């Protein structure tokens, strides 16, 4: 529902509010659109999400995200050194530390970063391309990307990881 970015190049001190459903981020080249996605991914998955080596980011790099999953609101505050995950409604700390927060995010979502990126992120121009397709072709394309066949492929490829998560 909300993303706050601090020390993110073009988005230092910026807050973005999102609405339920699909949100579209548009802007000129080099305006920082990809930085917004990187910050969201960083909040959920830590330094694994960063495009550059960690040392190239300043010490003050920080992002906070408020989000809702299955009717429950959460907030993550994350820097390069630490992270905290909160239950917003209960105003309680659920996890502290980068590894612990990332593990809890996996439990909340029920899937890994790879699945998160596939199901929640569309690269530049893909939405425009989809909008130009005929309805039947668009449905086939979406089913191929996020449909049952994609889920089955992910399950097969990550069977060992799923076993660990289930435990």
- Tell whether the model's pLDDT for residue 52 goes beyond 80: yes
Burial of 43 (0-12, 13-18, 19+ CB in 10 A): buried
Question: Is 35 within 8 Å of 8 (Cβ atoms)?
Answer: yes
More confident residue, 89 or 150: 89
Q: How many other CB atoms are found less than 10 A from the CB of residue 138?
A: 14
Tens of pLDDT, residue by residue over 95-150, are 999 999 999 999 999 888 877 776 666 655 565 666 677 777 777 766 666 555 65
The angle formed by the CA atoms of residues 162, 103 and 5, to the nearest 5 degrees, is 130
Write the CB contacts of 61 (distance below 8 Å, at least 6 apart in sequence): 6, 7, 8, 79, 80
Tens of pLDDT, residue by residue over 37-50, are 999 999 999 999 89
> How many angstroms separate the CA atoms of 101 and 43, rounded?
9
**What pLDDT does 145 receive?**
61
Query: Of the given ranges (1-15, 62-76, 115-129), which has the lowest mean pLDDT?
Result: 115-129
Q: How many other CB atoms are found less than 10 A from the CB of residue 38?
A: 20
Percent of the chain with pLDDT over 70: 81
- What is the rounded average pLDDT for all residues in the chain? 84
Alpha helices in 53-134 (DSSP H): 98-109, 113-120, 126-131
- Is pTM beyond 0.75? Reply is no
């Amino acid at each position: 529902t909300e993303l706050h970015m601090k020390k993110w190049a073009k988005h230092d001190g910026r807050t973005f509010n999102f609405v339920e459903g699909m949100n579209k981020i548009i802007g000129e080249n080099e305006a920082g659109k990809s930085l917004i996605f990187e910050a969201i991914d960083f909040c959920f998955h830590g330094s694994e999400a960063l495009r550059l080596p960690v040392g190239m980011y300043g010490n003050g790099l920080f992002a906070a995200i408020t989000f809702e999953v299955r009717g429950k609101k959460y907030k993550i505050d994350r820097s390069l050194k630490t992270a905290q995950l909160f239950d917003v409604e209960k105003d309680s700390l659920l996890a502290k530390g980068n590894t612990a927060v990332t593990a809890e995010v996996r439990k909340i979502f029920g899937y890994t970063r790879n699945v998160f990126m596939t199901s929640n992120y569309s690269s530049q121009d893909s939405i425009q391309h989809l909008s130009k397709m005929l309805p039947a072709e668009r449905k086939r394309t979406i089913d191929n990307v996020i449909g049952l066949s994609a889920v089955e492929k992910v399950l097969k490829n990550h069977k060992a990881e799923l076993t660990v998560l289930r435990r």
